[in-house]
Copies of this chain bind each other. A is one copy, B any other.
């Protein structure tokens, strides 16, 4: 008999709790697994031995249904970066102590490429000290920027939010008789996946978004203004999707840096709004989709949520098969009918690396997405959750805030 532990890390998505359900349900099925521990606030809970017994928290099928439709991380999150264990093993020693004390034989870490760095380091450290604990990464991120995997859980729901909302913003933008420009700022520091997903509106016959700017293409203000003027000659209301991560002149980004060295970006949309107002002088507004694009689980993609659960369950099976230092990944077999398999990759192939939008997804002008690329995005946003509601709004699973410290 052994116990198992799971933690959630990084920025919220709509699918992280579904992966938790996958880990939990699969573990329940395995006779050799006894307790299923949830680590509070990601790896911090492992360091501080702050774990909850998930069997006392998730009590029914109803609880699992609620978890599947609850955004963010029910166990809390962290952005804590483990140091190199060769230089400072203190965190690792504490984690090893927690694992031994709790008789934990496998640790599943649900997170982005920073968390996969943790998976990689921990598996190396355990090999070094001869501790038999399997470490498996379960991917998640709305940014869809993890290498090897076809896509990441959380991305499909975020893309569905972006497409649905861009569609509604398009209706909202077209009503007045005067020409206007609407700029929608979408998350994505270095990779334009989520911004590009707004182009699925083209499959519905919409001309919007008329312009799409992603970080993979060098941004030029002059080119931008030329593009906007050209689209304004064709459309009364021009709708623009712009990634928060496009590089604009110095001084626009706030420059605040988080623990992983990421810059907090904001205000690109507002900046471009000001540029258009001063250079073109038309009615213009900017809209930041902000955290809604990562937490709007009422718009969750069933494909995404189901896959998130399946990849969590597959992680448990992978650990039980004796693998460690691995990340579960999707391999796409076909777009139509959409078919994926779940496989494994070495965490070192994914940790601290980013996957960018393929160059051929972007049109030759560098300001929109090619139609054939929609075949990549469309399957990921299909299907809706059968949401449990209370008082007319979707119900959430929540552990008491005191448990999260």
Contacts and interface: CB of A to CB of B under 8 A. Distances in A.
A315 interface: no
B169 A204 contact: no
B405 A236 contact: yes
A176 B77 contact: yes
Interface string A350-382: 000000000000000000000000000010011
Contacts of A381: 391-393
A289 B287 CA distance: 9
Contacts of A289: 292
Contacts of A390: 204
B12 A172 contact: yes
Q: Nearest 6 CB-CB pairs, A to B?
A: A77-B175, A72-B171, A172-B295, A381-B392, A168-B295, A382-B392
B171 A295 contact: yes
A298 interface: yes
Interface string A151-195: 000000000100111011101101111000000000000000000
A163 B390 CA distance: 12
A15 interface: no
A87 interface: no
A391 B200 contact: yes
Interface in A226-257: 235-237
B163 A393 contact: yes
A168 B292 contact: yes
Interface string A102-124: 00000000000000000000000
Nearest to A391: B203
Given A288-B290, A295-B169, A299-B298, A72 B393 contact: no
Contacts of A177: 41, 44, 76, 78, 404-405
A383 B299 CA distance: 16
Interface stretch (A25-33, A212-220, A394-402): A394-402
Number of copies: 2
Interface of A: 12, 41, 44, 70-73, 76-79, 160, 163-165, 167-169, 171-172, 174-177, 200, 203-204, 207, 235-237, 285, 287-292, 294-299, 301, 378, 381-384, 389-396, 398, 401, 404-405
A390 B394 CA distance: 23
Given A167-B393, A299-B298, A381-B393, A71 B172 contact: yes
Contacts of A12: 171-172, 175
Contacts of A176: 41, 76-79
A77 B405 CA distance: 50
B76 A175 contact: yes
Nearest to A390: B204
Contact of A298 (B41, B164, B391, B394): B164
8 contacts: A41-B177, A76-B177, A79-B176, A174-B404, A204-B390, A207-B401, A236-B401, A289-B292
Nearest to A166: B393
B204 A391 contact: yes
A8 to B, nearest CB: 8
B401 A164 contact: no
A260 to B, nearest CB: 14
Nearest to A72: B171
A174 B204 contact: no
Nearest to A13: B172
Contacts of A41: 175-177
A62 to B, nearest CB: 16
